[in-house]
Homo-oligomer: A and B are copies of this chain.
Amino acid sequence: MSSSTEGRFVRNAWYVAAWSSEVGDQPLARKIIGEPLVAFRNSRGAVIILSDTCPHRFAPLHRGKVIGDQIECGYHGLRFADDGQCVFNPRPGGVLTAANRVASYPVVERDTFVWVWMGAPDRADPSTIPAFPWLTDGDTYVKTAAATMVQRLPVELIVDNLMDLSHGAYIHRDSLNAYPPDAHVSGTVTADVTQDGCEIHNLVQRDGTDFYLHTFFRDSRTVADNGTVDLWTDTRFNAPTTIYFEVGIKPPGEPRAAGEFFGSVHALTPCDADTTEYRWLVFRNYAKGDPGLTAEMEKLVGHAFVTEDEPMIGAVRDRMAGRDFWSMRPITLAGDQGAIAARRCVERLVEADRIGVPASVRPR
């Protein structure tokens, strides 16, 4: 971890390294919290993740090739087994020792993602990986394609953005939220932030709302005859960098199960202090036979991320110019609780890493 990433990221945590579909039998390069990694599937189909730096002369192993269960360095031909041990030196008289190895990382494939544990291997606990059961339940849900954006943005500013959806009325005024900002204050609004371990829920409910959230519900069957609905926006944050939120509508007074919603998955992987890999998709439990709506969701949401969110977050990053968030004395207003809770939670985990105390990231 370079000095610019030291103390910035949670180490003892699971991060999404890839969509499962991305990893094949040849090397795939990744950088996560500043550490270069190489991923490949061995001959049994298991995903292997090793340090991407050859310990001999520091060539990136991903520039070499996978031969059976081994990866060969492309510079001088050293070969490493899938547990990281160096097992072959092609030069005459080459002797290898147990110390000639690269680090290997715990890996779990789940819910279409490859998760990697970046901390002490003996503390890797797969039960703390946040679940995304919707992604493998094709009967109940229809989803957009698995998408990946590489953004030149620090991950914490993307989390800030997602944990305060009130930005939609301004940034996405002309795309996802084609309604005047004043509409936001109609209806009866309740907002709740709850925290369980390092899982944070940010729930906003607007009962008796007389407008549609946006065009994605335009053909909804849940719209009451009088044109009003209950609207909910439920955001789930799992430290350090994974967010899920759903937006739903239901007939006034009915339970959520009577409603329709779409959910979006935001798996943020900090490559380093400046760059984030952002994997996302959107799924829904309604209008499942409407491929046009699926295509529209994919296009509109992707467009909003790239042309609306990313420039604004980048402008914030430039304005911060590397300064610490708190040192800039941000003013805190109603609506900021979720984002602040997420930020505090990550800071607590970084501190736990630093002093060597395990911190629970699982919901109790």
- Write the residues of chain A forming the contact surface with B, with a CB cutoff of 8 angstroms: 2, 36, 52-53, 55-60, 63-64, 72-78, 86, 89-96, 99-100, 160, 164, 166-167, 169-171, 181-182, 184-185, 189, 191, 312, 315-316, 318-321, 328-331, 333-336
Contact = CB atoms under 8 A, between A and B. Distances in A.
B57 A330 contact: yes
13 contacts: A56-B330, A57-B330, A58-B328, A58-B330, A59-B312, A60-B315, A75-B171, A75-B312, A75-B316, A76-B167, A91-B335, A94-B335, A95-B334
What is the copy number of this chain in the assembly? 3
Contacts of A58: 316, 319-320, 328, 330
A166 B99 contact: no
A74 B166 contact: no
Contacts of A312: 59, 63, 74-75
- Of listed A96, A184, A319, residue having the most chain B CB within 10 A: A319
A341 to B, nearest CB: 15
A36 B74 contact: no
Contact of A74 (B90, B171, B331): B171
Q: From DSSP, what is the main secondary structure of chain A's interface residues?
A: loop
A171 B65 CA distance: 12
Nearest to A73: B170
Contacts of A334: 89, 91-95
Nearest to A90: B181
Which 3 residue pairs of A and B lie closest in terms of their CB atoms, listed nearest first?
Answer: A91-B335, A93-B334, A94-B334
A77 B36 contact: no
Contact of A319 (B36, B316, B330, B336): B36
Contact of A76 (B74, B78, B90, B170): B170
B94 A170 contact: no
B92 A191 contact: yes
A268 B56 CA distance: 23
Contacts of A184: 90-92
Contacts of A315: 59-60, 63
A181 B77 contact: yes
B189 A75 contact: no
A95 to B, nearest CB: 7
Nearest to A92: B189
A95 B336 CA distance: 12
B89 A333 contact: yes
A211 to B, nearest CB: 16
Contacts of A319: 36, 52-53, 58-60
Contacts of A74: 170-171, 312
A265 to B, nearest CB: 23
B316 A76 contact: no
B76 A160 contact: no
Contacts of A191: 92-93
Given A55-B331, A76-B170, A171-B74, A321 B2 contact: yes
